[in-house]
Chains A and B, each alone.
Chain A
């Protein structure tokens, strides 16, 4: 199944081990992601990203040092995150000599966007969701070859 996703990439002048620490150590994550960070760095580990007064729980999915780190978040309160009720953030690190190509992929965004059935409440809590979906749709339309 195709998914709505955002994919970004950056090339860093540092070896993969250094970049790995930057994206997985809580005191470093605090500098680029959230104000408050808690993270158990193991598959199934719990974590939290706090932004001002809001705190978003997360569950770690993959930890494969120094090339892969992923977690799920944006799941409805009181539920376990899984494919189908959360978004998946995946970091991939590829060493290129002394440099590192860091890619981030956030997928599952359509679930934030699709207010149906038991997803209704979740969608209500994520007002931008529908908007995200429509934009993705607009891009799909834009990418379609014009005759």
Chain B
């Protein structure tokens, strides 16, 4: 089951040229639509459309600087994100390692008992 907002998110990052725009913003920090258009093999209109979709999906924000509009990905959130996801993954690693120790200890014990019984 997927809601309209999920669809919005998925179409936002699912499109390879949109990811290209996002990737440029991640690397550049902040950029205008015309700078972005100069970096990609598709039209300025296409870049503008991608920016609208990315902004609607709250992946980027914009600010005005003089007559220019600059777009950016929130670096703090990205950093926070990296740590949160890494923490979740390492939580599972820790859990799996304890499961491994517990199961191996239980198995070794059963085996020892069996051998004792057989002896």
**Contact surface of A with B, Cβ cutoff 8 Å:** 1-2, 6, 8-10, 12-15, 18-19, 21-23, 28, 31-33, 82-84, 100, 102, 104, 106, 109-110, 114, 116-117, 119, 128, 130-141, 144
Q: Which residues, 1 to 55 on B, are CB-close (under 8 Å) to A?
A: 1-3, 5-6, 9-10, 13-14, 16, 19, 22-23, 26
Complex Cα gap A12–B95 (Å): 13
Q: Is the CB of B96 within 8 A of A15?
A: no
Q: Which residue of A lies closest to B92 (CB)?
A: A8
Alpha-carbon distance between A32 and B46 when the two chains are bound, in angstroms: 50
| Main SS at interface, chain A | helix
- CB atoms of B106 and A21 under 8 A apart: yes
Q: Is the interface of B mostly helix, strand, loop or mixed?
A: helix
What's the Cα separation between A6 and B93 when bound, in Å?
A: 11
Contacts of A132 in B (CB 8 A): 81, 84-85, 88
Closest 3 CB pairs of A and B: A134-B81, A135-B85, A14-B107
Interface pair A141/B22, CB less than 8 Å apart: yes
Contact of A131 among B5, B23, B84, B104 (CB under 8 A): B84
Give the CA-CA distance A84 to B4 in the complex, in Å: 12
Of chain B, the residue at the smallest CB distance from A139 is B85
Is B64 among interface residues, defined by CB-CB distance under 8 A?
no
A144 touches B6 (CB 8 A): no
Q: B residues within 8 A CB of A100?
A: 103
A135 and B99 contact, CB distance less than 8 A:
no
Can you list, as one digit per residue, whether each of B65-94 has a CB less than 8 Å from chain A (1) or not (0)? Answer: 000000000100110111111111100110
Q: Is B113 an interface residue (CB 8 A)?
A: no
How many Å from the CB of B42 to the closest CB on chain A?
14
Check A140–B84 contact: CB distance below 8 A.
no
Which residues on the B side are within 8 Å of A18 (C-beta)?
103, 106-107, 110
Partner of A141, one of B23, B95, B107: B23
Complex alpha-carbon distance, A84 and B1, angstroms:
6
Check A117/B5 contact, CB under 8 A, given A14-B106, A141-B26.
yes
Contact A110 B107 (CB under 8 A): no
Alpha-carbon separation in the docked complex, A71 to B96 (Å): 16
Q: How far is the CA of A104 from the CA of B74 in the complex (A)?
A: 31
